[in-house]
């Protein structure tokens, strides 16, 4: 048998005993396509609503915890059974493929159906439908119960897999299995962030352990630090797509190596170097052990650059010259860079490379200098350093940024790799990010659009079809928007109740958690990683002006903040602390709140429930940003600087934009300029528009003037900024040309 046939399946001993009529529940729970199956969440919730909340919407934990008597009861409920059958029908459509694919690649052997409706990719590129595209990323955000993500990069990668599944793109994801998660955030009474492990229990997730020859728990190995490091793997099913998560926490490994895959972005540079070798080198070797032969390779950020170096090494081992090996790897490789911030690009010394992973790359061939040279940066005076992004760019035929502005910025940053070219001629393009519509648009908004948009609106970027959003009546949209805000406030109160007994020692935390907030005021949301350039504290530059806005008895305003600072980013933690201090200030009357431990569950509540989304990065340091796209899909306009996606997404009537400061302005002058324009927009445009309500005696209080940009926000985001559009762009302009071997 091949290694593929010795996997632990979703129908293994972990499966709870289910009534025969409900035997498909376990299969449904163990395929993450349930997260965008419109029938599945309602189905699982109906089994046991309180338990569904306590398990934080985790169907595997629900089924392993709920009592047998309750399952027997719902198995006899005709309403539940209709929902169950409908959810299984949707799941079958979500995984069905109209042709055979290799087990373990995109699609699964038991889901093949000759009569299945061809997918978008099948119809357009039938010659390449059985050639997998390997998609490498250091983090993936797919569900709250699998905390192997830190923020935007992981959410983007998760949405990429979901959209690829829907479109039938034969994608195979490769990442790392962080058994201790990223971290669990709690704030002390002084607002300082404490970081604790957020452990992952595989038995409460849809993770499937893969096994190698003779049932051993590892599939490949690398050498580093004088030892061999064995690498295991887990599989997650995401509809038609499989995600393989690599793991070194095996008894066969030295204790020092078992922790390499424990936590996302943990440890110092040596630790990161070895993690990235496991991801890149180990990922290539694990795919080979599984019999998966990708036709194209996509590195999502520089963390995965060793995937390319390993492929060069393997070709040289097989007799290819260095130049020929590089050319062959480049021809089939796509690289996406996600940040212009220097701290986001990993750099390792040659000494570190030799000590920790040197044996991996030259245990069979002696070409050390050629391989190390792939990571040299011509602008770095120290020529004994390996730049992961430089190596990735050198080894990729197709390179892109993640917005039009970021493409321009990236061409300027990396033009040194093309000595004879001006910045405008550097071959770095862009694919603007998008978000998975079925994941991020609330069921309430989607249900409303079902009534007013033509059939098929969920699967198209046709601007004429999306233009029908303008026909949605203001009262109907306002009722949905009010319902979503009330749900957000309930979420915040529930989170406060959950944290108060175990984490908070004084009642002052409760006000800061949003328990005093009302559904009536204009509510502004700001949620993202607390990095200094994202300027979460910009609105606090003028305390008196802010106080006047928040405490206006006729037109009050509320602010909700959320997000984590990187555990080693003390400057970011100080920004968070300054924001948190304002939540405890009684002068603000409880109108500023901080929602702790921001993750996917809280993100849904915020992007759906606030009235206005705020994004204030210092231009041009935000490569794209996607939180505003998620908010827009729910009828929440954005007020932001002219950075990332908003530079191209702002249409004049779907939100507000802060104009660029003069190019000669200092950083302090830029902050002052942006703060002034922020307050001016709030005072003169945003707040008056929100409170422009019908007069006394009107049948409803829907602010028609405010709902015009809300509709346009939905229209523009739905037509231009979904993950479906993004993955179609990658498939058409990057994957298929790589599969064809185009120059």
| Cβ–Cβ under 8 Å, residues 206 and 236 | yes
pTM of the complete model: 0.94
697 — pLDDT class (breaks 50, 70, 90): very low
> Does residue 409 sit in the same domain as residue 480?
no
Q: Note down the domain range covering 65.
A: 3-95
Residue 11 has pLDDT above 70, yes or no: no
Final residue before a domain boundary, out of 95, 125, 142: 95
> Does 378 score more than 90 pLDDT?
no
Q: Average pLDDT, stretch 293-308?
A: 97
At 430 the pLDDT is 97
Pairing of the two strands 638-641 and 612-615: parallel
DSSP 304-367: GTHHHHHHHHHHHHTT--HHHHHHHHHHTEEEE-----GGGS-EEEHHHIIIIIHHHHHSS---
Rounded CA gap, 442 and 574, in Å?
A: 33
CATH code, domain with 717: 3.40.50.2000
pLDDT per position as a tens digit, 108-136: 444 544 457 889 999 999 999 999 999 99
Neighbours of 586 (CB within 10 A): 8
pLDDT of residue 1: 32
Q: Name every residue whose Cβ is closer than 8 Å to that of residue 318 and which is 6 or more positions away in sequence.
A: none
pLDDT(8) > 50: no
Does residue 538 lie within any of the structural domains?
Answer: yes
pLDDT of 109 reads 41
Buried b (16+ CB within 10 A) or exposed e, 231-259: bbbbbbbbbbbbbbbbbbbbeebeeebbb
Spatial contact of 303 and 283, defined as CB atoms under 8 Å apart: no
The last residue of a domain, from among 69, 95, 121 = 95
pLDDT above 90 as % of the chain: 76
- What pLDDT score does 506 carry? 64
Mean pLDDT for the stretch of residues 529-542: 95
* 66/20 same-domain check: yes
89 and 124 assigned to the same domain: no
Burial of 545 (0-12, 13-18, 19+ CB in 10 A): middle
CB 511 within 8 A of CB 584: yes
Indicate whether 275 belongs to any domain. yes
For residue 192, being part of any structural domain is answered with no
Tally of CB atoms within 10 A around 454: 11
Q: Give the span between the Cα atoms of 260 and 275, in whole angstroms.
A: 6
State whether 476 and 587 are in the same domain.
yes
Bigger pLDDT: 742 vs 509: 742
Which whole number is the average pLDDT over 650-658?
97
Res. 4: pLDDT tops 80? no
Contact 592, 558 (CB under 8 A): yes
Longest dimension (CA), the chain: 84
> What was the pLDDT predicted at 515?
81
**Is 452 contained in some domain?**
no
Task: Indicate whether 472 and 597 sit together in one domain.
Answer: yes
pLDDT of residue 98 exceeding 60: no
Number of compact structural domains in the chain: 3
Could you read off the pLDDT of 442-475 as tens digits, one per residue?
999 999 999 999 999 999 999 999 999 999 999 9
The pLDDT score that the predictor gives to residue 509 is 66
Tokens for 245? 């998560």
For residues 162 and 40, membership in a common domain is answered with no
pLDDT at 182 (0 to 100) = 84
Q: Which residues contact 699 (CB under 8 A, 6 or more apart)?
A: 475
169 and 293: one domain?
yes
Percent share of the chain, pLDDT over 70: 93
Give the CA distances from residue 214 to residues 7, 219, 235, 285, in Å, rounded to whole numbers and listed in that order. Answer: 12, 11, 19, 18
Torsion angles phi and psi, residue 332, rounded to 5:
-115, 20
448 found inside a domain:
no
Residue 3 has pLDDT above 50, yes or no: no
Same domain flag for 161 and 224: yes
Residue range 299-316: mean pLDDT, rounded = 96
For residue 180, is it within any domain?
yes
Beta-carbon contacts of 310 under 8 Å, excluding residues fewer than 6 positions away, are 280, 281, 284, 285, 360, 361
Strands 220-224 and 227-238: antiparallel
260-295 pLDDT tens trace? 999 888 888 999 999 999 999 999 999 999 999 999
Name residue 510's beta-bridge partners.
none
Examine residue 666 and state whether it is found in any structural domain, yes or no: yes
What's residue 100's pLDDT? 43
Structure tokens that stand for 146 in this block:
């699998």
Q: Do residue 41 and residue 154 come from a single domain?
A: no
3-class state of residue 148 by DSSP: coil
Query: In 106-168, where do the E strands start and end?
Result: 133-136
Kindly state whether residue 102 falls inside one of the protein's structural domains. no
Listed residue (712, 703, 638, 715) closest to 474, CA to CA: 703
Q: What integer pLDDT is reported at residue 450 of this predicted model?
A: 96
Place 511 in a pLDDT band, splitting at 50, 70 and 90. low
Q: How do residues 554-604 score in pLDDT, each as one tens digit?
A: 999 999 999 999 888 999 999 999 999 999 888 888 899 999 989 999 999
- Whether the CB-CB separation of 32 and 238 falls below 8 Å is answered with yes
Considering only CA atoms, which of 531, 524, 525 is closest in space to residue 617?
531
Query: Which pLDDT value is given to residue 678?
Result: 98
Contact 557, 522 (CB under 8 A): yes
Q: Whole-angstrom Cα distance, residue 359 to residue 333? A: 25
Query: What confidence score (pLDDT) does residue 580 get?
Result: 92
Confidence bin at 81 (pLDDT 50/70/90): very high
Whether 188 shows a pLDDT value over 80: the answer reads: yes
Contact 222, 21 (CB under 8 A): no
Confidence of residue 12 (pLDDT cuts 50, 70, 90): low
Give the number of residues written for the chain. Answer: 743
| Residue 56 confidence (pLDDT) above 80 | yes
Of the candidates 101, 97, 102, 111, the residue with the CA atom closest to the CA atom of residue 31: 111
Give residue 496's pLDDT: 84
Average pLDDT, the chain: 91
Q: Do 137 and 150 meet the contact criterion of CB atoms below 8 Å apart?
A: no
Mean pLDDT for 413-439 is 93
Tell which residue, 398, 213, 378, has the closest CA to residue 290.
Answer: 213
Same domain, 255 and 347: yes
Q: How far is residue 306's CA from residue 177's CA, in Å, rounded to a whole number?
A: 18
Q: How far apart are CA 90 and CA 41, in angstroms?
A: 12
Query: Do 416 and 490 fall within a single domain?
Result: no
pLDDT at 421 over 90: no
- Give one word for 191, left, alpha or beta, with left for phi > 0 and alpha for psi -120 to 50: left
**Count of other CB atoms within 10 angstroms of residue 363:** 12
Per-residue pLDDT at 232: 97
At residue 139, does pLDDT exceed 70?
yes
Mean pLDDT of 651-664: 96
7 pLDDT above the threshold of 50: no
Say which DSSP state 7 is in. Answer: B
Same domain for 78 and 127, yes or no, is: no
């Amino acid at each position: 048998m091949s290694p593929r046939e010795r996997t632990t399946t979703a129908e293994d001993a972990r499966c709870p005993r289910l009534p025969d009529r409900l035997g498909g529940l376990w299969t449904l729970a163990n395929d993450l396509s349930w997260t965008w199956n419109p029938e599945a969440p309602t189905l699982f919730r109906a089994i046991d609503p309180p338990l569904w909340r306590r398990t934080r919407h985790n169907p595997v934990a629900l089924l392993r915890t709920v009592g047998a008597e309750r399952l027997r009861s719902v198995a006899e409920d005709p309403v539940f059974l209709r929902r169950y059958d409908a959810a299984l029908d949707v799941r079958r459509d979500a995984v069905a493929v109209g042709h055979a694919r290799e087990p373990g690649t995109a699609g699964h052997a038991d889901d093949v159906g000759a009569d299945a409706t061809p997918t978008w990719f099948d119809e357009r590129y039938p010659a390449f439908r059985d050639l997998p595209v390997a998609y490498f990323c250091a983090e993936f955000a797919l569900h709250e119960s699998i905390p192997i993500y830190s923020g935007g990069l992981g959410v983007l990668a998760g949405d990429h897999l979901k959209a690829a599944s829907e479109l039938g793109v034969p994608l195979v994801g490769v990442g790392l299995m962080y058994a201790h998660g990223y971290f669990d955030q709690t704030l002390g009474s002084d607002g300082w962030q404490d970081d604790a492990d957020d452990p992952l229990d595989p038995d409460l997730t849809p993770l499937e352990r893969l096994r190698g020859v003779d049932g051993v728990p590892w599939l490949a190995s690398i050498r580093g630090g004088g030892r061999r490091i064995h690498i295991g793997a887990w599989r997650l099913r995401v509809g038609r797509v499989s995600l393989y998560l690599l793991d070194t926490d095996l008894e066969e490994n030295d204790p020092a190596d078992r922790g390499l895959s424990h936590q996302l972005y943990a440890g110092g540079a040596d630790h990161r170097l070895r993690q990235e070798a496991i991801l890149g080198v180990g990922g290539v070797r694990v795919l080979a052990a599984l019999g998966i032969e990708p036709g194209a390779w996509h590195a999502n950020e520089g963390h995965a650059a060793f995937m390319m170096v390993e492929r060069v090494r393997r070709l040289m081992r097989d007799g290819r010259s260095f130049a020929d090996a590089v050319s062959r790897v480049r021809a089939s490789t796509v690289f996406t860079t996600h940040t212009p911030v220097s701290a986001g690009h990993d750099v390792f010394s040659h000494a570190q490379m030799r000590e920790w992973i040197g044996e991996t790359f030259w245990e069979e061939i002696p070409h050390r200098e050629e391989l190390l040279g792939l990571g040299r940066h011509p602008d770095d005076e120290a020529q004994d350093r390996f730049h992961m992004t430089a190596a990735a760019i050198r080894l990729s035929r197709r390179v892109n940024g993640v917005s039009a502005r970021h493409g321009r910025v990236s061409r300027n940053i990396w033009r040194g790799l093309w000595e004879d070219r001006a910045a405008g001629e550097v071959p770095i393009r862009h694919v603007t990010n998008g978000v998975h519509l079925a994941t991020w648009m609330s069921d309430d908004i989607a249900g409303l659009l079902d009534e007013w948009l033509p059939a098929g609106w969920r699967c198209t970027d046709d601007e004429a079809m999306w233009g029908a959003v303008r026909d949605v009546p203001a009262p109907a949209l306002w009722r949905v928007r009010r319902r979503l805000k009330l749900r957000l406030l309930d979420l915040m109160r529930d989170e406060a109740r959950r944290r108060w007994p175990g984490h908070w020692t004084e009642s002052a935390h409760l006000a800061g958690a949003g328990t005093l907030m009302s559904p009536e005021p204009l509510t502004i949301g700001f949620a993202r990683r607390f990095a200094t350039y994202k300027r979460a504290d910009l609105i606090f530059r003028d305390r008196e002006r802010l106080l006047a806005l928040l405490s206006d008895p006729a037109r009050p305003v509320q602010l909700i903040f959320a997000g984590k600072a990187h555990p080693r980013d003390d400057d970011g933690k100080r920004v968070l602390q300054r924001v948190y201090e304002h939540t405890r200030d009684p002068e603000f009357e409880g109108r500023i709140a901080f929602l702790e431990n921001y993750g996917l569950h809280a993100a849904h509540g915020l992007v759906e429930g606030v009235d206005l989304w705020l994004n204030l990065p210092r231009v041009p340091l935000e490569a794209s940003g996607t939180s505003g796209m998620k908010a827009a899909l729910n009828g929440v306009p954005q007020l932001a600087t002219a950075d990332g996606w908003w530079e191209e997404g702002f249409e004049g009537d779907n939100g507000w934009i802060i104009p660029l400061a003069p190019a000669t302005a200092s950083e302090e002058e830029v902050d002052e300029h942006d703060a002034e324009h922020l307050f001016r927009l709030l005072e003169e445009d945003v707040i008056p528009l929100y409170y422009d309500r019908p007069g006394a005696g009107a049948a409803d209080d829907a602010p028609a003037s405010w709902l015009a940009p809300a509709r346009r926000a939905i229209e523009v985001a739905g037509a231009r900024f979904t993950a479906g559009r993004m993955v179609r762009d990658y498939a058409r302009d990057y994957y298929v040309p790589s599969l064809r071997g185009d120059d």
